[in-house]
């Protein structure tokens, strides 16, 4: 009997739990090799190609283009060439038997304790994470390619050894299954636990983990599932009472009486329904969280940018390659964050409700970029070490890969402060929403001619508006105003900070 190996959709980075299948690069019956791209998937952060950790004949494709797949669910089934008489030119196996998922092994051949014999998905997930060539796909790595460590398959046994409910998973299991939960520092969980929580409506963001380092275990989710036994008895009368007291005559008017395709509340025809998914879903969740958690405040100032524009024109006349205006402003921002580091921080909340302000030795400057897939914020890493020309080159590169949907989760999720140039849309100002979990965002409006007083005389100058939205928990208005004034002064007198361009 042929042995089919099931490759589960791997974790694609930083807490992403699902991905949309864009297209298949292979078909049933194709022979594939290790690390060959088999599918293209789109996550809430980028579009990536998924390589196969197995070589063999494609036995089954688990999903259709356009379908949303959960992390840890089957993606593709592969039958190794030469197993049970399967040859390379013997393409599609007829009706393969149920997939066989092998027990996990250690590098030295010792069997790893299997805590989820009753859950084959988790068992397969551990096995497929250990196969492959050593190449890395964002948050997913196959460790087999950097050495010749010998693998000895653990002997199969018909007796399943169940792990005690309170037993700690092996360190190898933790390294294979851990995935960070967005917004929580210590809570990491396996795809199996995420699925269990999702199916039972358990909010992982509010669930303390009992494992090492705050790890959320299966027992924690099971405890949460069985804990609120008495709650339905209190809430059920409240839910059913309005239905019982509503006049019967009004019910048909709102439901059965409404024609198909007509909104019952407004009476207007429904033009379309668009699922909220991908980047739009991620942006919506992040913005809603920012608004609900961050007590934000906004300060703004009009700035005379004539001096900066004249400096660029002078550099152009000299024949040198001149950075864009956004690169100059980015240079001023990184200098300002060195002087006002409170705005380059993050607030972390522990499971007991206590909070800490985390500061960073460096600036990862996020650049808000509008793409066909929605608003994304790739970040320039260690931006404080770059000159204006170097910033310009990196901003252009990141904007390009973001618009192609090829930016990695690291590039999209590592920012410490965001710069947003909404002036390209022809607007003067905006009270932007902070890119959670950052604590501040600086917006730049369009540059237009305005009357301005210079040395007591009225003149026409190139004026822009800077808007800073900040988290009032990390600093007060004096710090925010000081940073904003620093950037404004640098724009008005650019030569003082640009000796290194």
Instruction: Report the catalytic residues.
Output: 472
Q: Which helix (H) or strand (E) holds 358?
A: strand 355-359
> Token digits for 174?
């933790």
Question: What CA–CA distance (Å, rounded) separates 441 from 483?
Answer: 12
> Token digits for 285?
């969740």
| Main-chain phi, psi angles of 358, to 5 degrees | -100, 120
Region for 469 from its dihedrals, namely left if φ exceeds 0, alpha if ψ lies in -120 to 50, beta otherwise:
beta
- Rg, Å, the chain Cα set: 28
Cα distances (angstroms) measured from residue 59 to each of 75, 95, 121, 133, 221: 11, 9, 18, 21, 35
* Contact between 119 and 127 (Cβ < 8 Å): no
Q: Which helix (H) or strand (E) holds 76?
A: strand 74-79
CB atoms within 10 A of CB 268: 8
Place of tokens 């710090």: 479
Question: What CA–CA distance (Å, rounded) separates 27 from 39?
Answer: 10
For the four alpha carbons of 230, 236, 239 and 245, in that order, the dihedral sign comes to negative
* Contact between 104 and 114 (Cβ < 8 Å): yes
Strand order of the sheet with strand 18-24? Answer: 47-51, 37-42, 18-24, 68-70
* Contact between 34 and 143 (Cβ < 8 Å): no
Preceding omega of 437 cis (within 30 degrees of 0): yes
Query: Could you tell me which residues come within 8 angstroms of residue 396 by beta carbon, excluding any fewer than 6 positions away?
Result: 324
DSSP, residue by residue, 345-386: EEEEE-TTS-EEEEE-SS--EEE-EEETTEEE--EETTGGG-
Cα distances (angstroms) measured from residue 147 to each of 34, 144, 154, 363, 467: 16, 7, 20, 36, 53
| Main-chain phi, psi angles of 327, to 5 degrees | -65, -40
* Contact between 45 and 62 (Cβ < 8 Å): no
Question: What CA–CA distance (Å, rounded) separates 279 from 417?
Answer: 20
């Amino acid at each position: 009997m042929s042995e089919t190996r099931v490759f589960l959709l791997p974790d694609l980075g930083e807490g992403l739990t699902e991905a949309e299948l864009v297209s298949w690069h292979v078909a049933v019956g194709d022979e594939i090799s290790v690390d060959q791209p088999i599918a293209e998937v789109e996550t809430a952060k980028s579009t990536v190609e998924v390589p196969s950790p197995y070589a063999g004949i494609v036995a089954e494709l688990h999903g259709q283009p356009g379908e949303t797949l959960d992390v840890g669910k089957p993606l593709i089934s592969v039958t190794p060439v030469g197993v049970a008489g399967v040859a390379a030119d013997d393409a599609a196996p007829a009706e393969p038997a149920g997939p066989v998922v092998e027990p996990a092994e250690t590098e030295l051949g010792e069997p790893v304790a299997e805590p989820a014999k009753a859950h084959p998905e988790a068992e397969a997930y551990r096995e497929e994470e250990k196969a492959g060539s050593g190449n890395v796909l964002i948050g997913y790595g196959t460790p087999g390619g950097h050495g010749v460590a010998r693998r000895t398959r653990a002997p199969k046994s018909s007796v399943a050894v169940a792990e005690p409910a309170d037993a700690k998973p092996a360190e190898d299991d933790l390294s294979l299954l851990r995935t960070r939960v967005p917004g929580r520092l210590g809570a990491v969980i396996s795809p199996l636990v995420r699925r269990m929580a999702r199916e039972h409506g358990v909010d992982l963001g509010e669930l303390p983990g009992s494992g090492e380092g705050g790890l959320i275990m299966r027992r924690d989710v099971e405890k949460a599932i069985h804990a609120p036994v008495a709650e339905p008895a209190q809430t059920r009368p409240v839910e059913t009472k309005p239905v019982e007291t509503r006049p019967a005559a009004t019910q048909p008017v709102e439901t059965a009486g409404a024609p198909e395709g007509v909104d019952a509340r407004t009476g207007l025809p429904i033009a379309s329904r668009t699922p909220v998914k991908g980047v739009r879903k991620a942006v919506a969740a992040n913005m809603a969280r920012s608004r609900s958690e961050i007590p934000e405040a906004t300060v703004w100032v009009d700035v005379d940018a004539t001096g900066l524009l004249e400096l660029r024109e002078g550099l152009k006349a000299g024949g040198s390659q001149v950075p864009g205006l956004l690169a100059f402003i980015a240079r001023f921002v990184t200098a300002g964050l060195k002087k006002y580091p409170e705005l380059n921080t993050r607030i972390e909340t522990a499971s007991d409700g206590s909070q800490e302000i985390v500061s960073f030795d460096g600036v990862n400057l996020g650049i808000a970029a509008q793409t066909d897939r929605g608003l994304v914020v790739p970040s320039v890493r260690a931006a404080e070490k770059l000159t204006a020309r170097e910033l310009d080159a990196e901003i252009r590169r990141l904007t390009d890969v973001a618009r192609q949907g090829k930016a990695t989760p690291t590039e999209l999720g590592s920012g410490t402060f965001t710069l947003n140039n909404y002036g390209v849309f022809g607007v003067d100002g905006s009270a932007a929403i902070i890119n959670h979990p950052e604590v501040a965002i600086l917006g730049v409006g369009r540059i237009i001619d305005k009357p301005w007083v210079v040395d007591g005389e009225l003149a026409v100058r190139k004026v822009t508006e800077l808007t800073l939205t900040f988290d009032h928990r990390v600093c007060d208005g004096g710090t925010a105003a000081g940073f904003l004034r620093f950037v404004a002064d640098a724009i008005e007198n650019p030569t003082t900070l640009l000796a290194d361009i």
